[in-house]
Amino acid sequence: MEDDCDIIIIGAGIAGTACALRCARAGLSVLLLERAEIPGSKNLSGGRLYTHALAELLPQFHLTAPL
């Protein structure tokens, strides 16, 4: 593991994951940090998961989603 990166994103919910994905696709080295056991756990357990927007970012997410 490298000791440096271009960007650090705190929180792997919908916004953090989308940001990390866009940055990585732009060629940046990304570190995505999440305090929960699984990414987006607050949204998965206490809120709503917006699957239409997620499907646009990650078309195969429904095949591996921790639901």
Residues 6+ apart with CB under 8 A from 13: 39, 40, 42, 43
Can you give the pTM of this predicted structure?
A: 0.60
Residues 42 and 19 sit within 8 Å (Cβ to Cβ): no
* Distance of alpha carbon 32 from alpha carbon 67, whole angstroms: 21
Q: 62 is written with which tokens?
A: 């429904």
Distance from CA of residue 39 to its chain's centroid?
Answer: 7
* Comparison of pLDDT for 38 and 2, the residue scoring more: 38
What's the pLDDT score for residue 21? 92
Q: What is the pLDDT of residues 12-56, one digit of tens each?
A: 888 898 999 999 999 999 999 998 877 766 665 445 556 677 777
